[in-house]
């Protein structure tokens, strides 16, 4: 086991931070790291917080950190910031608010850049969430701007997804088109101090009634994150959803689908690297590949003869 991993497992925050950087940079140490920490996973509760820019997600997350800390939970936060290609590039507002907890050993906050990550954000997020889990966090909060498919993909890792809207979100229908209705386990109408909060609340409730979802009844809560109003109720609702997941088969189904998709993704990436020659090829496999490239045999024949070869022992490097 590497020195870094030992430090990580002993609770060294700097080691956690370094390992997150390895994830961000897609280090080739990654497969080994993720394999090593695997046995330490499964203790943390993953909560996704998504919604339009300016809805109050960061403010709410900041309040949830405080709630968690009051309950004695260790809290990890991942803020996915589309404005920055770099790690640590949190929006100024985020950084200021999150500093409330900067000196708290029970809190670890990290911002992940998403621009330029070439669709690798959801994978990076997944791995960072797991690092925080293995590190011993009780809650891992993931903040993303709910604007597109990438953000919705990110939410797949979350046990519970909170969708934050505001009275200004007005065009609720538009939001639902973006698929937020499907991912939401809890809706929050933040900025309830503003006009129109009840209107959107009722719209959401009506929409949820029409969706005929069975099992968990998606609650719609009102909050005023900046005044810390309704946040305790939100934390209680999160715990209720967590209990629901534990007694129903939902969590198992979710995990199964997630793991299958991930295995496929990792395998595809391995195949891609193999094809591009980034992974050394066994001579027999290389010969077959050449036969396909030269047109001597069909891709079908090449693949059907290659696959069994790939199943064999790895080539000597």
Ligand X SMILES: Nc1nc2c(ncn2[C@@H]2O[C@H](COP(=O)(O)OP(=O)(O)O)[C@@H](O)[C@H]2O)c(=O)[nH]1
Q: Does 188 bind ligand X (CB under 6 A)?
A: no
Q: Give the C-alpha separation, 290 to 312, whole Å.
A: 19
Residue 58 sits in the site that holds Mg ion (CB under 5 A): yes
Q: Is the separation of the CB atoms in 127 and 34 below 8 Å? A: yes
- Min CB(36)–ligand X separation in Å: 34
Given candidates 225, 231, 234, 288, which one binds ligand X under the rule CB under 6 A? 225
- By C-alpha distance, which of 183, 118, 196, 189 is closest to 144? 183
For residues 143 and 154, give the distance between their C-alpha atoms in angstroms, rounded to a whole number. 10
Instruction: Return d(Cα 46, Cα 52) in angstroms, integer.
Output: 20
**Among 55-63, 166-174, 276-284, 308-316, which window interacts with Mg ion (CB under 5 A)?**
55-63
| Binding flag, residue 54, ligand X (CB under 6 A) | yes
Minimum Å distance from CB 249 to Mg ion?
Answer: 34
# residues contacting Mg ion (CB under 5 A): 2
Which span (40-48, 218-226, 247-255, 302-310) binds ligand X, by CB under 6 A? 218-226
Choose the contact partner of 264 out of ligand X, Mg ion, none; CB within 5 to 8 A by kind. none
Q: Which of 45, 47, 57, 108 binds ligand X (CB under 6 A)?
A: 57
Q: How far is the CB of 147 from ligand X (least distance, A)?
A: 11
Residue closest to 23 by CA, chosen among 116, 151, 122, 101: 122
Report the residue number, 50 or 58, with the smaller CB distance to Mg ion. 58
Where do we find the tokens 């011993």? 136
With CB under 5 to 8 Å by kind, the binding choice for 59 among Mg ion, ligand X, none is: ligand X
- Binding of residue 191 to ligand X (CB under 6 A): yes
Q: Does 160 bind Mg ion (CB under 5 A)?
A: no
**Residue 38 CB contacts under 8 Å (≥ 6 apart), including other chains:** none
Q: Is 67 in the site for Mg ion (CB under 5 A)?
A: no
Polymer length of the chain? 317
Instruction: Please check whether residue 180 is in contact with residue 146, taking contact to mean a CB–CB distance below 8 angstroms.
Output: yes
Region 81-140 residues binding ligand X, contact defined as CB under 6 A: 93
94 vs 153 by CB, closer to Mg ion: 94
Nearer to ligand X, 15 or 221 (CB): 221
**59 lies in the site for ligand X, by CB under 6 A:** yes
**DSSP annotation of 196:** T
CB neighbours of residue 200 within 10 Å: 23
- Sheet of 107-113, strands arranged across: 107-113, 75-81, 139-145, 45-51, 160-165, 186-189, 220-222
Of the candidates 190, 200, 203, 241, which one interacts with ligand X according to CB under 6 A?
Answer: 190
Instruction: Give yes or no for a contact between 50 and 163, defined as CB atoms under 8 angstroms apart.
Output: yes
Instruction: Kindly list the residues in this chain that would bind ligand X in the complex (CB under 6 A).
Output: 53-59, 93, 190-191, 193-194, 224-226
């Amino acid at each position: 086991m590497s020195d870094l991993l030992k430090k990580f497992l002993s609770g060294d925050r700097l080691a956690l931070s370094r390992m997150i950087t390895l994830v961000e940079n897609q280090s080739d140490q990654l497969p080994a790291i993720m394999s090593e920490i695997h046995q330490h996973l499964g203790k943390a509760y993953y909560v996704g917080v998504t919604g339009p820019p300016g809805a109050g997600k960061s403010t709410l997350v900041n309040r949830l950190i405080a709630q968690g800390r009051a309950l004695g939970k260790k809290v990890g936060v991942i803020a996915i910031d589309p404005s920055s290609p770099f790690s640590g590039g949190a929006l100024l507002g985020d950084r200021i608010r999150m500093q409330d907890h900067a000196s708290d050993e029970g809190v670890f906050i990290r911002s992940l850049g998403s621009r330029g990550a070439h669709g690798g954000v959801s994978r990076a997020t997944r791995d960072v969430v797991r690092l925080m889990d293995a590190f011993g966090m009780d809650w891992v909060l993931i903040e993303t701007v709910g604007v597109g498919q990438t953000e919705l993909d990110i939410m797949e890792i979350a046990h519970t997804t909170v969708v934050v809207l505001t009275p200004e979100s007005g065009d609720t229908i538009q939001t639902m088109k973006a698929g937020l209705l499907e991912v939401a386990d809890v809706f929050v109408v933040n900025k309830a101090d503003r006009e129109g909060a009840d209107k959107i609340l009722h719209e959401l409730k009506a929409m949820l009634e029409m969706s005929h979802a069975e099992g968990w009844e998606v609650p719609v809560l009102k909050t005023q994150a900046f005044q810390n109003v309704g946040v305790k109720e939100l934390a209680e609702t999160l715990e209720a959803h967590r209990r629901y997941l534990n007694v129903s088969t939902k969590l198992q189904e979710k995990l199964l689908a997630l793991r299958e998709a991930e295995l496929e993704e990792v395998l595809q990436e391995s195949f891609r690297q193999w094809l591009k020659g980034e992974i050394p090829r066994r001579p027999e496999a290389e010969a077959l590949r050449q036969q396909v490239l030269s047109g001597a045999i069909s891709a079908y024949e090449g693949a059907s003869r290659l696959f069994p070869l790939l199943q064999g022992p790895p080539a000597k490097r």
